[in-house]
Structure 1
């Protein structure tokens, strides 16, 4: 059964708080100021037990114009809204703004609750109902059920409960695959327990004992206790109104608008790429660098607007914006928000976050607009591709995709499998790699190795460690290993811990070829006795660069100083393997006798074999390596 949160909306004094008390028995006006003034200033919370014993949360939001930001703060996670209208007054200006806000936030499920019906005569009531239907004809509330109620006499309360229950049974359960997130809407201290915060849990579950990270401060805290509807529970599920008792953090270190998440990788950002809908009656629309109030989650921050692809977004129009914020926020893609004018404060637009951590854009760049359109309208595979191609890190773990997309693993996995089969993504041990991202890495690797080949024409390739160091600014160590494995299938070859492009071959001119033959002849004549490389440099003026080119090919560098002919080393390996196979082990003296070489020469060769794991030294003898 899905977790349901119901919100109320409507003009001041139209009876929202009284209605909730009649439904639940809970008084949501709790502060002395609220009781004195007779209006809801802050968010009020209650819960309701339906006839089928399902318990749902209720958020009673303020109706007065001055408290609109508090009203918006209560809406994240809302499943159903009760639009409360006084039977004697009908729709008022504040009612209209609430409807605009709710519509802009993407809420489509409403019940219209006509209150105080027993205080008016039937003719006036019918006129008010007719006017309500006329004014809501072009809104998502056009077909909403209207229930006549009176909280004082009890009229319609039973019918309203039945309507709420019928709706709750149709709400699908939320996916539990993301990283749990809670927008803090209240903070207080309970004697003997410490800091407590409340909010509607989004995206995933939270359990007692879990570590949470507070944004934007980055402080770490721990969940000491959880309450849902005033009952202690071991875990809270997405969609539930939740109270968290937190350890290791003071009340003054948290404020409403902060975000708590189990993820330590939620990004604070100064910018947001968004899609907005501008209200039809907004004077002048939204232009470049307008100062606005952004209401998102439970926060209000000031921002500047940068229209993308157009000079301005007119009344009643949709468009893309980049919001440049005056304070950092921690939000996610698909979060909804409201924009209000700086002064006078009026709701002007609302929409959805498409990119929660973008870079600054040129306003009319085609690639940016195409990316935003993909984020807005794209199918799941298009969203995956767009995210993977445009994020900073090329490799993407499945967990990151689940958090970004907000879908269940069962929905994501078949799409990734199909994309991999079509070579649109590559699955590796460290995550998925979009084909376009891989091609960029191929180009980068090709450029690095091409420059190396051009500078060192007689070397087989770049030392592997040097290549890894060049890629460390882009990839983590395990990602570099995964990339090299992919590159070896397509564009590079590896030998002796060196990387080269597959089509690269060392080519000697006639002078270098002559030097090569001299070096190899000298080493062959020396047999199992390694030679210092400086001694070979005297053979020919081209010997220095030629010897470097032969390293790992026909010449083995036993150390940075001593070299041996590759064929001789191969013969030495065969001698050792045959001897150990017959005798079980070999000493330094045994090898010296077999090769008729000096103790020093034998030690150099055997120690190199140890390094290559051909042999393994045990005390004063050797066995074959693993």
Structure 2
């Protein structure tokens, strides 16, 4: 009796080779059956003619129906053990039982392994079924749900499974999920034939490099590095079997089967308090450990005790946010995702992180732009197809591109509005400052550094924002920092009363160029914000802690001290004090400032010419 998965292949009369996955029939081994039934193109439902439909037959058929396996044939085995009348009764019973399922109308063939009865007809029927099956899609995102792991002397670790969504080649780098183990394809085999490459849809054995057998298990997924993302949540449409026996309640503990994975989970019902047998609902599955799934994957749900299949469905979002229940916008979005065209899928992936108005002022992850590969992954589309769709949407004005990042047009417009609003609000709040720091702007918008650079570049190109030339905050007369941004045309402005105070303050700086008011005295005269504005504008230069000079005095002082030092080869504190006719209170911070700029080089109590020149630090 088969208790685990078996694998073989068959050559049909027309020469086509097909892979066969033999799954256990007994109800005690349904978990093993579920690990092998995913990804098949057609099913052979085997029923013994002398026994008829058994409990495990009903569960297997329910699973095939929930997985929406598109084609199948019913094989009545042991036909040599019953008479024709009994065989007809069994055939009628099976046909009636198939009517409400996806296998309604499927061929029902009587065969005997002992006499060979019906075997030619079975081969012909299988060939017809598979010829009518559409070619497996290749979206350039190969993934192999692992159903068997073993090792062979001289080869190392080998995994097998049914390859989905893309092809693989010998030598390619791969990643084993959810662990994130990196490896390389050392060899490929299908139907015991060594191959250089394989296409999706067939049984494949992968010889993996640098991976221990003990590190892998059934349920792992082999894919290209970075192309999949393990998740603890997924949104889905769940159908409860009509004969499940009782309603499914919110937060019920279940086991989820998808691909070759088996993961305990809780069912969060999003649009009802309890799901009745035979009905469907929107659910969010909260998994106990990371799963690797893709949009449109089918899954099965079983209750762990007593073990029974109760339903299954289709995944519509593999990277959702945590949803509150009974939210109409959430339910509407899920309906759209279920019915979405490729264009709509791409747009949905671009809008999935759109914040609400005002949200970005309070959260660190407000707006998101997406890279091409991210959009393709979320949309479950090939990258070249995704690129074509994006270019088409761009020409229609439905998406926006900033550098390598893509935005839904609605998201870009919201981002633009918020980006400008932050700067305008800053100008209103601090009219004496030249602009907001780029880092503060980036943080409040919730943008990553690289993305913020691209966004600002686009807004600058469009004439909506510009960089500010900061003059004097670091002590040099004209330092272009690029660290401040403003609305074009904005300039700090003083009120009439402030301007009168500024004129009086600057007059003191002119009258006492090298013994001017210190910062605390200046702030007492005109206010802290006005002094900061004068420093930012470059009219005043900050030296050390609390010492200020006018721009003219600062430039002249550096020139005089440098000239004296070059003439005499050195300069002392006392000599510098005499050159400027000032005091140690001012000259020490000024000399230390010159040391920092490498205009001077301190050696004990003396300073000699440094490596920098006045022209590189002051205009």
Band of TM-score, shorter chain = 0.7 to 0.9
Does structure 2 conserve the Cα–Cα contact (< 8 Å) formed by 1:446 and 1:501? yes
- Residue 541 of structure 1 aligns to a residue whose secondary structure is helix
SS in 2 for 1:56: strand
The answer to whether the 8 Å contact 1:519/1:536 transfers is no
2:67 aligned with 1:105, yes or no? Answer: yes
Matches for 1:196-275 after TM superposition, within 5 Å = 196-264=158-226, 266-275=228-237
Note closer, same or farther for the CA distance 1:524–1:370 as it changes in structure 2 (3 Å cut).
farther
Unaligned runs of 5+ in 2: 354-364, 470-481, 556-565, 567-579, 581-589, 598-610
Contact 2:148 2:159 in 1 (8 A): yes
Whether contact under 8 Å (1:178, 1:403) holds in the other structure is: no
Q: What aligned pairs does 1:394-433 form with structure 2 within 5 A after superposition?
A: 394-409=368-383, 411-433=385-407
Q: Report the 3-state secondary structure (helix = DSSP H, G, I; strand = E; otherwise coil) of the residue aligned with 2:179.
A: coil
Deviation of 1:268 after TM superposition, in Å, equals 2.9
> Whole-Å Cα distance in 1 between the matches of residues 506 and 132 of structure 2?
83
Aligned to 2:572: none
User: For the Cα contact (< 8 Å) 1:518–1:539, is it kept in 2?
Assistant: no
Give 1:214 deviation, angstroms. Answer: 2.2
Contact 1:533–1:563 (Cα < 8 Å) also in 2? no
Q: Give per-residue Cα distances to partners, 1:188-246, cap 9 Å, x unaligned.
A: 11122121111111222222222322223222222221111111112222222111112
Give the one of 304, 320, 326 matched to 1:364: 326
Q: Contact (CA 8 Å) 1:493, 1:500: kept in 2 or not?
A: yes
Change (3 A) 1:531 1:91: farther
CA distance in 2, matches of 1:362, 1:273: 12
Q: Which residue of 1 aligns with 2:496?
A: 510
Distance 1:143 1:509, change over 3 A: same
Q: Secondary structure at the match of 2:254?
A: strand
Aligned equivalents of 2:108 and 2:517: distance in 1?
A: 95
2:290 matched residue in structure 1: 328
Q: Distance in 1 between matches of 2:535 and 2:133?
A: 70
Aligned to 2:606: none
Query: Residues 461 and 129 of structure 1: is their aligned pair in 2 closer, same or farther, counting only changes over 3 Å?
Result: same
**What is the deviation of 1:100?**
0.8
| Displacement of 1:439 | 4.2
Distance 1:468 1:325 in 2: 34
Higher mean alpha-carbon deviation, 208-217 vs 306-315, is at 208-217
Q: Which residue of 1 aligns with 2:247?
A: 285
| Contact 1:214 1:259 survives alignment (8 Å) | yes
Taking a change above 3 Å as real, the CA distance of residues 60 and 96 of structure 1, as seen in their structure-2 partners, is: same
- The 5 A counterparts of 1:25-424 are 39-264=1-226, 266-391=228-353, 394-409=368-383, 411-424=385-398
CA–CA separation in structure 1 for the residues paired with 2:514 and 2:197: 70
What is the CA–CA distance in structure 2 between the aligned matches of 1:279 and 1:422, rounded to whole Å?
44
Which residue is equivalent to 1:458?
432
Following TM superposition, by how much is the alpha carbon of 1:307 offset from its aligned partner in structure 2, in angstroms?
Answer: 0.7
Q: Distance in 2 between matches of 1:523 and 1:174?
A: 81
| 2:466 equivalent to 1:493 | yes
What SS class does the counterpart of residue 264 from structure 1 fall into?
coil
* Distance of aligned partners of 1:301 and 1:464 in 2 relative to their CA distance in 1, 3 Å threshold: closer
The CA deviation string for residues 503-530 of structure 1, in whole angstroms up to 9 with x for no partner, is 855342102333566789999999xx99
CA distance in 1, matches of 2:109, 2:542: 90
Cα-to-partner distance string for 1:23-80 (whole Å, 9 max, x where unaligned): xxxxxxxxxxxxxxxx111111111222333222111111110111111111222111
Give me the whole-angstrom Cα distance separating, in 1, the residues matched to 2:259 and 2:145.
Answer: 6
How far off its partner does 1:480 sit?
Answer: 1.0
CA contact (8 A) 1:335 1:352 kept: yes
Distance 1:509 1:213, change over 3 A: same
Question: Which of 533, 541, 544 is 2:525 aligned to?
Answer: 541
For 1:134 and 1:465, locate their aligned partners in 2 and report how far apart those are by CA, in whole Å: 69
Matched, 1:449 2:423: yes
Correspondent of 2:454 among 466, 482, 487: 482
CA distance in 2, matches of 1:415, 1:559: 57
Aligned position for 1:4: none
TM-score by length of 2: 0.77
109-118 or 291-300, which deviates more: 109-118
Whole-Å separation in 2 of the counterparts to 1:123 and 1:539: 108
Conserved? CA contact 1:558–1:564, under 8 Å: no
Could you tell me how far 1:562 is from its partner in structure 2? Answer: 7.2
| CA distance, structure 1, for counterparts of residue 510 and residue 227 of structure 2 | 60
* CA apart distance, 1:464: 3.0
The answer on whether the counterparts of 1:111 and 1:147 sit within 8 Å (CA) in structure 2 is yes
The separation in 1 between residues aligned to 2:516 and 2:133, in whole angstroms, is: 80
Does the 8 A contact of 1:205 with 1:235 survive in 2? yes
Evaluate the alpha carbon distance shift between residue 619 and residue 514 of structure 1 in structure 2; reply closer, same or farther with a 3 A threshold: closer
CA deviation string 1:98-145 (max 9, x = no partner)? 111011112121122232333332222222222222221222222222
- Equivalent position of 2:441 in the other structure: 467
Contact map agreement 2:170 2:197 (CA 8 A) in 1: yes
Name the TM-score, length of structure 1 as normaliser.
Answer: 0.76
Contact 1:341 1:348 in 2 (8 A): yes
Q: Partners in 2 of 1:66 and 1:460 — Cα distance? A: 74
Deviations 1:479-518 (A, max 9, x none): 1111112333375333322212458553421023335667
Change in CA separation of 1:517 and 1:417 when aligned onto 2, cut-off 3 Å:
farther
Deviates more, 1:61-70 or 1:428-437: 428-437
Q: SS at the partner of 1:333?
A: coil
